[in-house]
Amino acid sequence: MHRKSRTTGRARKLFLGGAAVALLAGAFAVGTGLSNAGESCAGLDTALRNNLNFIAGQRANPDAQSAARIENRRAVVDLIQQRRVTAGCTAKVVADPVAAAPAKPTRPTTAPTTKAPSGGGSGSASGEVVCKGSTVTFFNENAGPAASSGTFPIGTRLRVTNLDNNKSTTVRVTSPSGSCVLLNNAAYETVREPGKNLIRRALIERVG
Condensed to tens digits (0 to 9), the pLDDT of residues 133-172 reads: 889 998 888 889 999 998 999 999 999 999 999 999 999 9
Higher pLDDT, 34 or 128: 128
Given a cut of 70, whether residue 1 has pLDDT beyond it is no
Helices (H) and strands (E) counted in the chain, each on its own, are 4, 7
Phi/psi at 12 (nearest 5 deg)?
-65, -40
Higher pLDDT, 188 or 113: 188
Looking at residue 9, its pLDDT comes to 57
Instruction: Report the alpha-carbon distance of residue 154 to residue 156 in Å, rounded.
Output: 6
Looking at residue 143, its pLDDT comes to 87
SS3 content of the chain, % helix, strand, coil (to 5): 40, 15, 45
User: Could you tell me the CA-to-CA distances from 76 to 31, 50, 58, 109, 168 in Å, in that order?
Assistant: 17, 11, 15, 49, 33
Q: What is the pTM of this model?
A: 0.42
Go through 11-22 and write b for each residue having 16 or more CB atoms within 10 A of its CB, e for each that does not: eeeeeeeeeeee
